[in-house]
Amino acid sequence: MTSFFSRLSQGKVVVALIVLLLVIDQVIKIWVKTTMVLGQSHTITSWFQIYFIENPGMAFGIELGSKLFLSLFRIVVMGFCIYLLMRLVRRKEHTLGFLVCLSMIIAGGLGNILDSIFYGVIFSDSHGQIAQLFPAGGGYETWFHGWVVDMFYFPLIRGTFPSWLPFWGGESFVFFEPIFNFADACVSVGLVLLLSCYPRTVSILLDGKKKPTDETLDQSASTENE
């Protein structure tokens, strides 16, 4: 009975976390879409801006093939992650930290999937105007072809490369230049924590020659948490 409630508690925690992160992500994106014009920015500090862009690719603006392929690729990857999470919740105890990391990755992936699937249909275009939610004339794209909303910009360091540097000498640069969203941050933080805090558990799950048992995963999680 104790084991049952332990698994049930883990399931509630990860579901609540995924829903919470998804809600935060979508609230931020909808606020940006319905209050800002594409390319508009709000300077919060000298090193932090809310800068509205739309991204056709993956995290931090990386592109991968066609838009439809990218949307389907995201869905397949997130489907596998959800399956893995459900399997671990159903079979495991004492791995809540690992489940939380995996839940952050899933929430981030799902957040960007929602943009790709729905935003092209439910929003009007943001070029030169503030987008309308559920416009009478229809959206700016079709299903699965929506663009991901990005807004967090951290130009921490601005400078100029020295003139003697090959190729880039004399050119200006910005660090950190990528513009990202809350979902991207969830994926990145989740991955970093997963790989740094639970390397043995990750290696066991990724080892195709071994099927992880409850005992091996429990021992791995206990060792990593010590």
Residue 4 lies in a domain: no
pLDDT at 66: 73
- Give the contacts of 82 (CB within 8 A, at least 6 positions apart): 106
Per the structure, the complete domain to which residue 30 belongs is given by: 12-124+132-218
Residue 109 lies in a domain: yes
Report how far residue 133's alpha carbon sits from residue 130's, in angstroms, rounded to the nearest whole number.
10
- Each residue's pLDDT, cut to its tens digit, for the chain (226 residues) gives 445 555 568 889 999 999 999 999 999 999 999 999 999 999 999 899 999 999 876 555 555 557 788 888 889 999 999 998 998 888 865 578 999 999 999 999 999 999 999 999 999 999 999 999 999 999 999 999 999 999 999 999 888 988 898 888 889 888 888 999 999 999 999 999 999 999 888 888 777 545 444 455 555 555 565 5
Among candidate residues 25, 125, 150, 207, the one labeled active-site is: 150
Q: Annotated catalytic, 150? A: yes
Report how far residue 196's alpha carbon sits from residue 19's, in angstroms, rounded to the nearest whole number.
25
Residue 6 lies in a domain: no
pLDDT at 4: 52
Q: Annotated catalytic, 184? A: yes
pLDDT at 130: 98
Residue 140 lies in a domain: yes
Tell me if the bond preceding 176 is cis, omega within 30° of 0: yes
- Give the contacts of 64 (CB within 8 A, at least 6 positions apart): 57, 58, 70, 73
* Residue with token string 């869905």: 75
Among candidate residues 184, 207, 214, 218, the one labeled active-site is: 184
Helix, strand, coil abundance in the chain, percent, nearest 5: 55, 15, 30
pLDDT at 71: 85
pLDDT at 151: 97
Residue 116 lies in a domain: yes
Residue 7 lies in a domain: no
Residue 2 lies in a domain: no
Decide: pTM greater than 0.75: yes
Residue 224 lies in a domain: no
Domains of the chain: total: 1
Q: Can you point out the beta strands (E) in 58-212?
A: 148-153, 157-160, 172-175, 179-180
